[in-house]
Structure 1
Amino acid sequence: MTQEHFQEGTGGRLPWRLGTVASDGRPVTVVETAGTLYLLEELIARTGTPAPAQTAVRDVIEQWDTWRPILTKLAGSSAAARPLERDRLDWLPAIPNPGKIVCVGVNYRDHLAEMGSGAVRPERPFAFIKPRNTLLGHRQTLWLPPVTRKVDWEAELAIIIGRKAFQVAAQDAWNVVAGYCPFNDISARDWISDLVPGLGQDWILHKSFDGFGPLGPLITPAEFVRDPQDLAIRLSVNGEVRQDSSTANMVFDIASVIEYFSSVMTLMPGDIIATGTPAGVGHGRGEYLKDGDRISLSIECLGELDTLVRRR
């Protein structure tokens, strides 16, 4: 996990991240600090730190201002708890139950070109919604649906909203961000070739199959990301790099996207915004995911999200 751009907070506080794993058949929150993972509940119990009773990641995000100092204190006291073996964890989506997942389409200049849009810059962000059934955890298996043969990858930076936001100006948008996380917006490209007369493409269903939204492994708080608008973003399939870009190449930057979406809908703590993908998707070269493929998506300082692809 690359540490560049992953910075200490003021006063030299230890940086920390949040994620979700399965333990005894239930989702539990893990905290990473100094490269080591701990159970949040155990950290609280071992240190005797007062904390809210609800410790799921979404609960933490919904009380973000309350939890941030608690988590900072716990990160500094982590030696009191047992470290977890990262490779033996059963990872779940970093936040398994977001309120909504709002996505930006064609938001990188190079991706506009490869998808046939040329140099035409959209006047405003193009949006669609993905349902929660799409979410998949780190190292979980993406099962290819039998009704599609053109399943594609899309490496994206996800924004995790931390405060209620409606009609937020771009200059204030950073105040509503809790953190960031790698996200893979899987798409069924053969579903977009069938145009419905008078309606066009079906942008919802071709993005909405079960497992079409790997998210994780961890959420990095915004305060520990020096510049989210200048992060390397890469995706490889079976070790071969397919996407290699930077969040600096977005058409609409993070602040503009939050301003635009919040002008239409109220963004709530625990909501996710996926910010679009750069060039290098399979559809541009006629290459699609197949049984046995391994996808690795990395974003500078945010970590690496791995997915195994299988077909029944």
Structure 2
Amino acid sequence: MHTDRFEAPFALARRRDGDLVRTALVAGDRIRDLTAAELGAPELNAFLSDPDWDRLAALAAADGDWMPLSGAVLTAPVAPRQVLQAGANYRQHVIELVAAGLTQNSDRTPDEARAFAAKLMDERAAHGEPYFFIGLPACVVGDDVPLVLPAYSDVHDWELELAVVIGREAFRVAPEQAMDHVAGYTICNDITTRDLVFRADMKEIGTDWYRAKNAPGFLPTGPFLVPAPFVDGPDVNVQLALNGQTMQDASTSDLLFGIPALISGASQTMPLLPGDLLLTGSPAGNGQHWRRFLQDGDVMTGSIAGLGTQTVRCIAGAPPRTAAG
């Protein structure tokens, strides 16, 4: 059930109704299902390809079969065909990571290491390119289901992120046109199993994002899709609390590569499709920083200004079955 607010006049959501998932309109503390005729499209991704926000604004202001939002069970507000994720994209976070390594492996003082790292990041922003990897759409879930922590590791980590929801298809677009392809924004928590990020059996091949980030439910998303006209994506606060204690707290204004650069860069390889998710990176303050990882019974509360709040409850996964079992 959801009582958390967003600041926009209305937003989209997807509501569970028994075994069905229905596209819904949320306005204030009310929610109502949307028929294809009301949406003006056969399904949500088709609507996002050419969103008519004026149509939904009129519905949000009209009488209808509204229900209390507090009684609704919401799932992920989108059903993406592709999920792209940006890595190492918060400037200050990366500076601190690089500086920490330099102070351990060189004669630089902490201030000298941070200054050197800042220069590296500024050069990367000016002349480099965003770093992307891909996630599995099947991992996208709502916070209506608990996060099951696989028993094969004790180092499952959180990474709260602003997620761009693609609208009109984007293929090899310039940064100047990139924002024309944004339908809206939502919240994603990019769960990562830290001890699987690098292959122990063959370090030469580098990172293994498939195993580290793609267990069932590892992309809690939503609960709302807020239209782009209502969100200042380049400057919103991203905050995650673990059991009530703030662990991440930053602004997207610190992104090394901003949203237009990310959309443009990702679209150079493969078309971004309506409803796809593009995660923009996660700020400092994950479990690896705090040396504290997710445990059975933990509750993560992820908030992004203007997008509401998601609450994810963690439960321990079943131990792996033995050959005899």
Structure 1-normalised TM-score?
Answer: 0.87
Partner of 2:221: 215
CA RMSD of aligned residues (A): 1.9
CA offset at residue 204 of structure 1?
Answer: 2.4
Partner of 2:65: 81
Residue in structure 2 matching 1:30, options 1, 24, 36: 24
Corresponding position: 1:102 with 2:87 = no
Residue in structure 2 matching 1:311, options 312, 316, 320: 316
CA offset at residue 266 of structure 1?
Answer: 1.0
Instruction: Answer yes or no: is the 8 Å Cα contact 1:104–1:276 preserved in 2.
Output: yes
CA offset at residue 263 of structure 1?
Answer: 1.6
The one-letter amino acid of 1:242's match is M
Residue in structure 1 matching 2:53, options 68, 79, 104: 68
Unaligned 5+ segments in structure 2 are 101-116, 318-325
Offset from partner CA, 1:129-174 (integer Å, 9 cap, x none): 0101211202420000111210000010000000011121111111
State which structure, 1 or 2, has the greater radius of gyration over its C-alpha atoms: 2
Residue in structure 1 matching 2:76, options 75, 79, 93: 93
**Alpha-carbon distance between aligned partners in 1 of 2:88 and 2:20, rounded to the nearest angstrom:** 37
Instruction: Answer yes or no: is the 8 Å Cα contact 1:139–1:305 preserved in 2.
Output: no
Partner of 2:230: 224
Q: Tell me how many residue pairs correspond in the alignment.
A: 290
Partner of 1:204: 210
SS at match of 1:308: strand
Instruction: Answer yes or no: is the 8 Å Cα contact 2:139–2:217 preserved in 1.
Output: yes
Q: Stretches of 4+ moved more than 6 A in 1? A: none
Offset from partner CA, 1:253-305 (integer Å, 9 cap, x none): 00111111112221111111000000000012221000000000000011101
Corresponding position: 1:134 with 2:134 = no
Q: How does 1:291-310 map to 2 (within 5 A)?
A: 291-310=296-315
The one-letter amino acid of 1:200's match is G
Offset from partner CA, 1:25-57 (integer Å, 9 cap, x none): 11101111134222223xx8xxxx7654624x3
SS at match of 1:276: coil
Structure 1, 153-162 or 15-24: larger mean CA deviation: 15-24
Corresponding position: 1:169 with 2:161 = no
Residue in structure 1 matching 2:159, options 143, 154, 159: 154
CA offset at residue 116 of structure 1?
Answer: 4.1
SS at match of 2:246: strand
SS at match of 1:156: strand
SS at match of 1:103: strand
**Alpha-carbon distance between aligned partners in 2 of 1:300 and 1:143, rounded to the nearest angstrom:** 27
Unaligned 5+ segments in structure 1 are 8-14
